[in-house]
Structure 1
């Protein structure tokens, strides 16, 4: 597959002049979509409290309040990107952010856990149309030579949103009720709608071809089944459960059918020949593997800081600031290393740094100096910045500009599925290792509560708190069992990151390829003019 260089038609000068303002508006919409998922983690304990403080949600209901968003989001990302290419990115962006805002307002005033789950699914529906559209619009308002810088800023915004979510949630919960973590989205959505309508130009694929309803339906069903099976396996901490295996197998079978159908179709939703390009495929694999490792490990980092170290949710959120700071500093500048050393060296170096920092968690104990955790978070963010920017540029520039929505949707789908797998699989590893480490210490408990107490460190500490002096004897064993489980899980995440490093080292282009591409691009631009 040849990499398309540029459109023959140049970007209108009026659009080009306001491109950085447009990027700012896109960042605003991206911020609330990404931030909302991390902000909910802080509110979980409050939502589980009985009314009127919370909703009295059970553990299963809380998990689905999180997963309903992820399930709908991941399942519809690819379809949303296709519709953006066909109908216009500005229209889908405005529609998506509106649906997201309505879902946020409804979630804030949910009267039961079931309502909260349903409204979170509505928010996921809106977010699925926002996320790919932001990157697609970006690709259409920046010329090729500025795209790496713009994508770097975009990637830094994702990191910022992930980090400030817990801080924002902690501040809101200190002063308002649990619904404020959703209601805060509404004024931001209104501001974003006004700015988008004013600044953002519309763009679409000028030759979208015929509709492919069969392909679209197969992609939705396959992704939903796959992600549901992954989530269910993580909840049960058992991927050998027949229902889990059947759901994942069905999802993979439907997605295989989707690929086969698209290969034979004369008007495919997805041109699967793009994946014959080893560079494109390697970049996709790198994104999935990175988020597999990162999401799985940051999942246990919250329990480490709060349950073992005793920090509050707000303090735990503040501890994540170095991760955000590093991404904000280095993501926009990662292109400079790519220019000097190439995609291969930059991305491989980022993955090796990330792997080293994940391995560092295997040495953390209850009394490890907190500055060491801050250094690890900062270096993790540095590694992420030098992975996300180069791989995103490779993916977005591998497809024609008119297919930018599809490219962005594919990238985000791989990211979401990889992250869901990371939380489910590494979460299962953490849960199993913890149970194995604590179960022989729970024999002093009544049989009725033994199973519940062994589910997680939070469950053990919750039961211990109700037992008084007898329960205090469980605190130290619970911390020890969790630390051991964290060490095992961190090493698993390290292995995944190293696999990613091997993939990009083998298939991403080195420094010498960029000048040749630039010469080809210049020739095409000259010919077009």
Structure 2
């Protein structure tokens, strides 16, 4: 039992507030851009693949560099790396706001992802150090997880509010004052910590992880355009598999690996990581679609589309703390399995959406189920991963947790977006069969491009209806993919996740900076 003074106990919760602000900044940018996708499609002439890269340019680099970010925090100091990441995040946010083409925006988003990879693992590592008491740490991780979940709704709402009054660049400029606040508060409240021991820098591990993850996601995003069985697609998947297998072998042979892959032989780590990855795979994939559905199909404005996600925020804010209490009563495996099954039910409800579905019906019900399920999954699974680590692995452990979360989300956008495109494009071509080839080709780029092409036709109303129906068909197919991912995660959690947490959870002690 760790005894602290009342002042120290109060300070810890202020520390949590600063860490939550920092993690909120980088988490919101996973979703804030989604509500701007129709605007970007119109103003930057971005097709579906380009829109996917606007989203995945951030999440891909974020996921690929998280292991490196966690390792740098353990080696050089978590507070130092956190603050460097925040500064870089502010600079790259400004570059994104000033982008004039889709390519420039994707490049700026990728740079933002690199900065976020320094911030995200440092927040969870510093949290574990700040809360040595197990019960308090479980509550703190529940709050931290709730904030990352709330970003799913905060992003679209804040993005919609900004787009209602300002240009699309404002969704990035809003980061600047928040970065300044997080930097000042962090300097006042946070204490430096680092791992007591570290070996040589693992250059091969960094290159292998970045190349393997990057090629895997790139191949998935581009597969609909090249064809799922095209030689380029098959070669991309084969090369990605070889790179990732080589990365694992390299890490197993090193005495000081970037990622100790032996961690995954502990079923607490492996099963909880799979649960987190598949939950965020489904969530991010669906969000990529639902923001376009609300605006292009139901006709919502950017602000209305953002506000429409508020039920998600409300429900996850309620269920995340409840999940901590339920784990103490019925165990981790039951709570995480139930959460994934509830999420699957939400996606199944969404799969039945139509062009004229009422928001206060099927849409709200589906979001409530998804949010409730996510709240039950994230904090128990995160605490399970962190609880399986030995002292000194706070940065590595948080990087593992964050990497599977971001990699799952990145692949979710790529896979679900690709499945939707695979269904949408042929349906539009068939539905507009009597129109010129140039019109049909333009309409297949995205639902926004399809509606723009329809608006220029004499019988534009009928053509627009074809475009909307085709997108809803794609949304349905993507939702079923999300539901299947959650069911698979529930099976893994039920079979492999231990019912109870370990009796003791080791906590790394802070090592003062030199």
Question: TM (normalized to structure 1)?
Answer: 0.89
Matches within 5 A, 1:47-446: 47-49=40-42, 61-143=50-132, 144-233=134-223, 236=225, 238-372=227-361, 373-446=363-436
Judged with a 3 Å threshold, the aligned counterparts in structure 2 of structure 1 residues 257 and 194 are, in CA distance, closer, same or farther, namely same
Q: d(CA) in 2 for partners of 1:61 and 1:360?
A: 29
Question: Secondary structure of 2:393's match?
Answer: helix
Judged with a 3 Å threshold, the aligned counterparts in structure 2 of structure 1 residues 261 and 11 are, in CA distance, closer, same or farther, namely farther
Question: Secondary structure of 2:326's match?
Answer: helix
| Runs of 4+ residues deviating >6 angstroms | 9-14
Q: d(CA) in 2 for partners of 1:84 and 1:245?
A: 37
Judged with a 3 Å threshold, the aligned counterparts in structure 2 of structure 1 residues 20 and 56 are, in CA distance, closer, same or farther, namely same
Per-residue CA deviation, residues 263-314 of structure 1 (Å, 9 max, x unaligned), is 1222222222211112211111111111222222222222322222111121
Partner in structure 1 of residue 21 of structure 2: 28
Judged with a 3 Å threshold, the aligned counterparts in structure 2 of structure 1 residues 412 and 88 are, in CA distance, closer, same or farther, namely same
Residue 108 of structure 1 deviates from its aligned partner by 1.9
Moved more, 38-47 or 15-24: 38-47
Question: Secondary structure of 2:34's match?
Answer: helix
Judged with a 3 Å threshold, the aligned counterparts in structure 2 of structure 1 residues 339 and 135 are, in CA distance, closer, same or farther, namely same
Residue 477 of structure 1 deviates from its aligned partner by 2.9
Q: d(CA) in 2 for partners of 1:226 and 1:14?
A: 49
Q: d(CA) in 2 for partners of 1:132 and 1:184?
A: 22
Contact 2:28 2:154 (C-alpha < 8 Å) held by counterparts: yes
Q: d(CA) in 2 for partners of 1:379 and 1:426?
A: 19
Residue 111 of structure 1 deviates from its aligned partner by 4.3
Question: Secondary structure of 1:202's match?
Answer: coil
Q: d(CA) in 1 for partners of 2:281 and 2:399?
A: 18
1:40 matches 2:61: no
Moved more, 409-418 or 378-387: 409-418
Q: d(CA) in 1 for partners of 2:483 and 2:353?
A: 15
Contact 2:145 2:379 (C-alpha < 8 Å) held by counterparts: yes
Matches within 5 A, 1:475-514: 475-510=464-499, 513-514=500-501
Question: Secondary structure of 1:127's match?
Answer: helix
Count of matched residue positions in the alignment of Structure 1 and Structure 2: 505
Contact 1:151 1:332 (C-alpha < 8 Å) held by counterparts: no
Question: Secondary structure of 1:473's match?
Answer: helix
Q: d(CA) in 1 for partners of 2:285 and 2:326?
A: 28
Contact 2:161 2:302 (C-alpha < 8 Å) held by counterparts: no
Contact 2:18 2:182 (C-alpha < 8 Å) held by counterparts: yes
Judged with a 3 Å threshold, the aligned counterparts in structure 2 of structure 1 residues 481 and 46 are, in CA distance, closer, same or farther, namely closer
Per-residue CA deviation, residues 441-498 of structure 1 (Å, 9 max, x unaligned), is 2122112222222344333222110113x12122333333333332232222211111
Moved more, 13-22 or 426-435: 13-22
Residue 407 of structure 1 deviates from its aligned partner by 1.1
Per-residue CA deviation, residues 46-85 of structure 1 (Å, 9 max, x unaligned), is 3455xxxx55656655443333222321211111111111
Q: What value does the CA root-mean-square deviation take over the aligned residues? A: 2.4
Matches within 5 A, 1:506-525: 506-510=495-499, 513-514=500-501, 517-518=502-503
Judged with a 3 Å threshold, the aligned counterparts in structure 2 of structure 1 residues 302 and 196 are, in CA distance, closer, same or farther, namely same
Q: d(CA) in 2 for partners of 1:346 and 1:498?
A: 14
Contact 1:68 1:117 (C-alpha < 8 Å) held by counterparts: yes
Contact 1:16 1:142 (C-alpha < 8 Å) held by counterparts: no
Residue 12 of structure 1 deviates from its aligned partner by 9.2
Question: TM (normalized to structure 2)?
Answer: 0.92
Question: Secondary structure of 2:163's match?
Answer: helix
Q: d(CA) in 2 for partners of 1:482 and 1:217?
A: 38
Judged with a 3 Å threshold, the aligned counterparts in structure 2 of structure 1 residues 204 and 148 are, in CA distance, closer, same or farther, namely same
Moved more, 373-382 or 97-106: 373-382
Partner in structure 2 of residue 3 of structure 1: none
Unaligned runs of 5+ in 2: 507-514
Contact 2:420 2:478 (C-alpha < 8 Å) held by counterparts: yes
Q: d(CA) in 2 for partners of 1:480 and 1:181?
A: 30
Q: d(CA) in 1 for partners of 2:84 and 2:337?
A: 38
Q: d(CA) in 2 for partners of 1:171 and 1:338?
A: 37
Question: Secondary structure of 2:201's match?
Answer: coil
